[in-house]
Every structure is written in structure tokens, then in C-alpha cells.
Structure 1
Amino acid sequence: MEDEQLPAALTDALDAFCRYISGERAMSAHTLRAYRGDLGSLLSFAAGEGCTGPEGLELGTLRRWLGTQSQSGVARATLARRAATARSFTAWALREERIDADPALRLKAPQRERQLPGVLQESKLNRILDRLEQAAAEGDPLAVRNRALVELLYATGIRVGELTGLDIDDLDQDRRTLRVIGKGDKERTVPYGVPAAVALDDWLRRGRPQLAGAGSGPALFLGARGGRVGQRQVRSLVHGLFEALGDTSASGPHALRHSAATHLLDGGADLRAVQEILGHSSLATTQIYTHVSVDRLRKSYQQAHPRA
């Protein structure tokens, strides 16, 4: 049933709600169409069950609508969005006194599927790092920088934005730690190992001085023109390194963060220590890496045990 075939009261409510959200929220035309499409689907379903106005919407109607969506193969993320649209609509209708009670208060959307992050095997990471070390040995300052940059990303698990924001003074080379400014301007101290320390020392001694200029300031990592290296440059570099492997689905610097966290846990690191290193505000966010470790353990077991 199309919008224009809806009962008049439902059509009026649909139009009024769309005017409300377009005025209250800065949203693209595409997002507004998605809202209208979701709500139009719900109201058409309700009208098919005999509902003639917003006051006829019931929790059962909403649940049956989501059920039919699920049975038709709609992705969980889409179902979650449509449930959110329904809740927004009924909450608005209650404020506008178009309904006496909100039927969506107990409407639960299906949980989004948890996407486990891509993790590189240590052997593949070693291949990348060995290639970077060989390239750096030739003395090109960008190659020296690239080695130090990737070593540090993997050694610390810091985000790309955190890496590009680093200044020289953020390094404590004696203690082998970094001062990192993370999300919400929260400061934390992150340790790094000997390979990253060697690569950083090489960069500071013979790489950075070749690129540094008047506009370099205190930036730790520089671009080809001497300014602070940008996130796009780092992403492009890491993506190219992964692509050159040819046998991994990992892409982008975040895979280095995922790999660092997983390898730490695989090696016996405490979950709370990993939380602090990564700068997660919630331990629940860090716990996803335990799922990665368990998943890898299960696969290894299934491949190796004769009675798996």
C-alpha cells in the first residue's frame, strides 16, 4: 500500500512527522527518504490490519511488522534502524497528543551482528615490517619514516588520528613510552617495544632532518613537503602494504590496532591493561578482542584435533 493509499489520518501523521524531523534535525535528503520509507512501510502494514489512524497502533502491530521484515531477509542493521524509526514516530505522536500511550516503549530491535575486527597473523606482519626495514636501509627519508610509523602503530595499537597528532616531545625514549591524546582529549601513556624504538631513533636521526622545514613545527611524523603527516597519507600507505600481501582481507591502519590488541591478549596480557593501552573508556569495548582470540583458538582446534 503506497503513501497515497493510506487512510487520511495515517497519511497526515506521516507527512507531519517527516516535516518535524526535517526541521528538527540536519539530515540529508537520502536519510529523510529512508525515514519516510521505513515509516510508510509500518503504516501500510498497520492499515492492512485495519488501523485507520495513529491511535490504532499497538505493540503487537509493531512486532508483527518487524517480524515480516525479518522473514523477508532484511539485514539486522536495517531492522534496528526501522525499529528506531517506529520508536521515534510513536514518541512524537505521543507528544503531539495524536495517541494516548506509546506502544513502542517495549519494542525491542534485534541486536546488530557483531563484526569481529580483521586481524593479521604475526607472520604476515613480520613480512610487512621486514620489507619496510629493507626499504629504509637505502636511506630514503620517506622509507625511514614509513618503517617507524608502521612499527609504532603495531607496537602501541594507537589510532591513526592519535599517531598523526604526536609531537617529538610526546616521546620518552628512555622509558620507551608515548604520551597520547585520545578521544575526548583524554591523555594516556602507552609503552612501545625495542623494534619500534630502533625505527623511531633511525627516523629522528637521519629521516626527519631531511624533510624538516620552517613549517614542520614539533610534529613527530612529517610528509614529503615537511608538514605534519596527514591521516589520509597514513591510511593510503598501510592499505598499500596490506594489498601487496595479496592474501589478507585486512585493510587500513585499524587492522594494525586490532592485531596489536589481539596479539597482546594471545600473549597473556591482562584485559584491563589492554583497555588502558587502547584508550577504551569501557571494558566491554576491549572484550571484543577476547572473542577474536577465542575464535582463532577454535579454528586452530578444528584444524588440528583429530576428533574436532
Structure 2
Amino acid sequence: MKRFLPASGALVLVAAVVGAVVWQRPEASPEAIAAGDVVLQHSDGSLLWRSGQPQTPLVQQVLRELGTIGTSLDQLRAAGGALVVTTIDSKAQAGATEVIRQLAAARPASITAVDPANGSVRAYVPGLDPAVDYAGGVVRAAGDTTRPFGSVALMRAAGVPESAEVEGRRTELLATGEALLRPLDVATAYATFAAEGVHHDTHFITHVTEAGGKTLYRAAIASRPALGLDPGRSKEFAARVTEELRADPLCGDHREAACLPVEVKDGDVVRHAWMIGYTPRLAVVVFVGAESSVEVQGRPVTATGLPNDILRAFQSKLTTW
């Protein structure tokens, strides 16, 4: 990511490398931004959020990313307002929201989808409780989601940070015997497999434009081999994992899809379950929490039950998978 620096009371872009952004259409005219207003858009230019409205967990993730690139909501408002174009695909986001509402409204659940080609977060539905982010704001035991990587070192190489801010405090993710991960981290890691061993930094922001139309920031799409010492070894490792995961019957007849169901238990009781699915075009992670293995709407909260239903229902909402 490139950074903002203050200069003469304004925010200026140090440098930018323009990367290809999938599914994006021209955004709304910056003249439509009221003085001091900050508007977040989906990648197609439709409205996602406007300053003054309640901040959902998704909006909070976008605003947090603003801080990592050197600015903040308050700075943008003080500078006269801005347009922030996000990576979120409006149709995928709406579809994921509908699926969670229909199948898991009574459960801690989330859908996170990342584009393997550039690290863009395409859908981010962290549950229906506006006070809890079950995609990027909680950590849960990863269970066998880490198995294809074989080591903590490869999890870090695939883009999983050593620590993250969770519920207002810094939390170690990979330092203990049992990895604690956010669904967003799992989606980031499996997007690396989907990209044939190439890692791209996961991000929510495509570019930021001031009210007058000047571009303040544009995401740089950088890549690096992640799963070996060189591109060839990374690609070979990713190909072996993907081939193994494609053999799971849960993947159906989609020749490019790979999938991995994971349950984390206390004895015979399911604590939570993951369902991971990816193709070269999208990596999707479904998380569903449960205090017991009771059924919800006729389907058990096991990886092959409700989480798998959620993944399949979300796939049916996508234009391409």
C-alpha cells in the first residue's frame, strides 16, 4: 500500500502503481460529495455508506484501512470530504447477506470472499449483529484449516499476520500451539492457494478521491511467491494442495473448485465449523459458531451441514465461480 503524507495542510499521494481491479465500473461524480462528507462506494459505484450513518463492521474495516494508508475519516472530512471506492462487489455482498439472513440468522456466522488475482475483498458479511464482526473482529481455533499448510511458517508466508487487533486489543494469532484465526485470515491464506502460490495483500480500498476530484490514493497490486523459496516451488506446492482438496465430494462437479470442511470440537460437541471453497476467481470462507451440535432449520452445525449449505447458497448468487 502507498501512504498519505500531510503537505501544506492537504493530503497528497506519494506514489501509486495502478493495478487491475476486477468488476469495477466508474464511480459517481465527486461533485456529488457534500462539503466535509465522506462517501464509501461499492466497486460498481453504488452507495455503501455515507459519513453520519451508523458504522457497520464492514464500514469499520474500511475506515481502519484508511489508517494504514496514512489518513482517517476525520482528516478526510476536515480536508473537505472524499470519495472512497471499495473492493466490495455489491451483488456478491447482497447475495451473501441474504444467505446469512436466510440460513444462519440465529447463529454467529460470516461469509468472507477474496479475489485471488489481487487480494480484493469482494464480499464481507460478518453476521447480522452490528456489534460483532464474525469475519474480522473475532478469533477462533483454526482446527484443520491449517493442515494443508503444514507449518506456521507457511501460514505467515500465505498472508496470515502474527497478530491482529481483536476487540480493541492486540491478539497473537499463530504464537500458541492451537492457531487462533479470523475468517478474514483464512480467506487470505486460501486465496494464495487459489492464485497458484502467489500472495496479494488483502485490502478493502481501491482508491480515494477528494471532493474536487483529485486522486489521493490508489491501491498498488503487488504480488510475491508465498509458499516456497521461489515461484516454481510455490506454484508446485499450491497445485498439490488444490488437487487434493478438489477430490472432496463436497466440491460437486465444478472442475476448478477446491473445498475443505473443518470442525472444531470439545469431545463430541462442535464448538464451531468452517467451510472453505475456492476457484481461481474467488476464495470463500464460511464460519459458523455453535455452542452445541443442535440443528438449525433442519441442518446440523457441522462443516458438511449448515456451513456447506451457506457456501453453496452463496455460490448460486455469484455471476462467476
Give the TM-score normalised by structure 2: 0.28
TM-score (norm 1): 0.28
Larger Rg, first or second structure (1 or 2): 1
Q: Which structure has more strand as a fraction of its residues? A: 2
Q: Which has the higher contact order (CA 8 A, sep 6+)?
A: 2
